[in-house]
Amino acid sequence: MANDPLFWVAALACVAVLIILMIGVGGFAKGGDFNRKHANKVMRWRIGAQAVAVALILLFVWMRSGG
């Protein structure tokens, strides 16, 4: 599994989702000007990145099961 490049791409996508989520949560917690300007945009980026990550995970599982 670790030798499969699609595994690493899916894992990288999951890490990207985590980073975007932490930026969003940090912005909500801090509040202020950053939160007012960028909160919705950051969460939209998270939803898009999460959709890509889920699609990559499903593709990886499908390919590993014999596709």
Q: What is the pLDDT of residues 18-63, one digit of tens each?
A: 999 999 999 999 888 988 999 999 999 999 999 999 999 999 999 9
Instruction: Single out the residue of 2, 26, 15, 7 nearest to residue 49, CA to CA.
Output: 15
CA pair distance 56, 26, nearest whole angstrom: 27
Question: Residue 4: is its pLDDT beyond 80?
Answer: yes
Whether residue 41 sits in one domain with residue 18: no
Whether residue 2 sits in one domain with residue 18: yes
Helix residue spans in the chain (DSSP H):
5-30, 32-64
Give the structural domain span for 17: 1-30
Whether residue 24 sits in one domain with residue 6: yes
**Number of separate domains in the chain:** 2
Whether residue 43 sits in one domain with residue 22: no
